[in-house]
Structure 1
Amino acid sequence: MSASARTRRTRWVAGSAVTLALLFAGAATVASARGDAAPAQPRTPAAGSADAGFARDMAVHHQQAVEMSFIVRDVTRDEEVRRLAYDIANTQANQRGMLLGWLDLWELPKTAPDGQGPMSWMPDAHAGHDMAGMDGMSGMEGMDHDGALMPGMATRTELDALREARGEKAEILFLRLMTDHHKGGVAMARGCAERCAVPAEKRLAEGMVAAQRSELDLMADMLTARGAEPRS
């Protein structure tokens, strides 16, 4: 694929992913404002529910994606990578604000209840059942290691390496780290789509799956163009 063709694909895929994510987010916001919830279920989730757990954990997960996007923006001049990083940062910052806003609306803490750690709302994920076979994820390996609290999150060591890298080396490392990050995010969002009780949140999670899978395809192409491939 030529550089110009890749640039057009980057613009189209990234723009489509942002548009799709924002459409789902907008629908979720409207539904939330209307109190759109299943009649047989409470409007306010419990602190230990999948709805609250996903909102807390995905807010943290998204924050790291925003951080990585700002890091790579400052260490490369490649417009294709910088454009992708901008789109990821913009989309995930907006979604993070929505997730934290729901927690405020539900009057729930932004930290897990006592005795519950990250991903406790997906208990079978600890045994690897939910992550296995999901876009290359292989269980919860690496969780709580060097700052990687949830599936796909980069470690502190990896973030430091990204800060120190420059040029194409930084681009490849960013694309690999963000590929892992998106795979973990897709697995978590699918978990919410299956477990969450609030329809608006389920729709937002489904939108995350669609948008991040689209960006995964794009990042695979971008890695190939740089003579590299994802780590897993």
Structure 2
Amino acid sequence: MVTGETTARSGYRRLRALLGVVIAVGLLLLGGGAAVTLGLGRDEAPGADSVDAGFSRDMSRHHLQAVEIANLAFERTDDPEIGQMAFDISATQTNQAGRMQGWLSLWGIPPTGGETMAWMATDEHAGHDAAMGADGLMPGMATEEELAELRDSSGTAFDRRFLQLLIRHHQGGLEMAEAAADRAEEQAVRSLAGTIAETQTAETATMTKMLSARGAAPLPAP
């Protein structure tokens, strides 16, 4: 018997395999002169504790959950509008996560490790302690219980929950993206962070309208 947990593990393995291909392609594109063109050719690469590295690690992991949620729609929804939104999010965020993990590889920094959200520390915010939710997750991320509920739903119930989780997910990632756009040292990182902030703001507005049209309201903002 295939359980929700087994399905989740299988989906995650497929996602990691896809991301591996994206990273490999990204590294080819970022090699040599292209690295300089993209602002990654400085004499000194960002350190493991830098905003650039911290953002790339944390946002790529944040993106992976959004892709996991989006990919569920390919099996669960019969709504073409939901399916198109899921495709756009999955394609865009898989590509962006590949770029960020490709940068980490170029910088010689492991794609995991370090204190999650520590790079968010400023005079106003205390990094990890201030940025992480009470559930120990990055802002906006769904819990395992919420993901299991989504996997077990279908029809309109799935569509509503799908939109609710991704709206909150986008809201949670927005502050991270805006912080990196303002504080990262590498131009390529600042540029991608700004693009993420703009895209997710627009998608959040669109999904909020879609959710209202389906008779539901967003979850409380993270």
TM range (shorter): 0.7 to 0.9
Aligned to 2:58: 57
Q: Report the counterpart of residue 158 of structure 1 in structure 2.
A: 146
Mapped to 2, the partners of 1:38 and 1:194 lie a distance apart of 17
Aligned to 2:68: 67
Secondary structure in 2 matching 1:51: helix
2:212 aligned with 1:224: yes
Q: In structure 1, how many angstroms separate the alpha carbons of the residues matched to 2:159 and 2:186? A: 38
Amino acid at match of 2:118: S
- What CA distance in whole angstroms lies between the structure 2 residues aligned with 1:169 and 1:192? 35
Residue of structure 2 equivalent to 1:187: 175
Per the alignment, residue 122 of structure 1 pairs with: 120
Q: Secondary structure in 1 aligned to 2:119? A: coil
- SS of the counterpart of 1:200? helix
User: What is the match of residue 204 of structure 1?
Assistant: 192
Give the gaps of 5 or more residues in structure 2: 1-25
TM-score (norm 1): 0.74
Distance 1:157 1:118 in 2: 21
Which residue identity is paired with 2:75?
D
Q: Distance in 2 between matches of 1:66 and 1:36?
A: 25
Instruction: Return the alpha-carbon distance in structure 2 between the equivalents of residues 53 and 126 of structure 1.
Output: 11
Q: 1:169 aligns with which of 139, 148, 157?
A: 157
* Cα shift readout 1:146-185 (whole Å, capped 9, x = no counterpart): xxx3111000000000000111100110101000100111
Distance 2:76 2:155 in 1: 6
The amino acid that maps onto 1:63 is L
Aligned length: 188
2: CA distance, partners of 1:72 / 1:38: 36
**Partner residue in 1 for 2:35:** 33
Q: 2:150 & 2:197 partners in 1: Cα distance? A: 25
Any conservation in 1 of the 2:40–2:188 contact (CA below 8 Å)? no
1:107 deviation in Å? 0.8
Q: CA deviation at 1:217?
A: 0.7
Residue 96 (structure 2) pairs with residue 95 (structure 1): yes
Q: What do you get for the CA RMSD once the two structures are aligned?
A: 2.4
Give percent identity, aligned residues only. 41
Q: Distance in 1 between matches of 2:38 and 2:70?
A: 33
* 1:151 match: secondary structure: coil
Given the superposition, is the C-alpha separation of residues 104 and 206 from structure 1 closer, same or farther in structure 2, using an over 3 Å criterion? Answer: same
Q: Please give the per-residue CA displacement for 1:93-141, whole angstroms capped at 9, x wherever unaligned.
A: 000000010001111111223xxx210111225565xxxxxxxxxx643
For the 8 Å contact 1:38–1:197, the answer to whether it is kept is no
RCO comparison, higher one (Cα < 8 Å, 6+): 1
Letter in 1 for 2:116: P
- Cα offset for 1:142? 3.1
Alpha carbons 1:150, 1:184 under 8 Å: kept: yes
Provide structure 1 residue ranges, at least 5 long, that are not aligned to the other structure: 1-24, 129-138
Matching residue of 2:85 = 84
TM-score, normalisation: structure 2: 0.78
Partner of 2:134: 142
The aligned counterpart of 2:107 is 106
Verify the 8 A CA contact 1:32 1:200 in the aligned structure 2: no
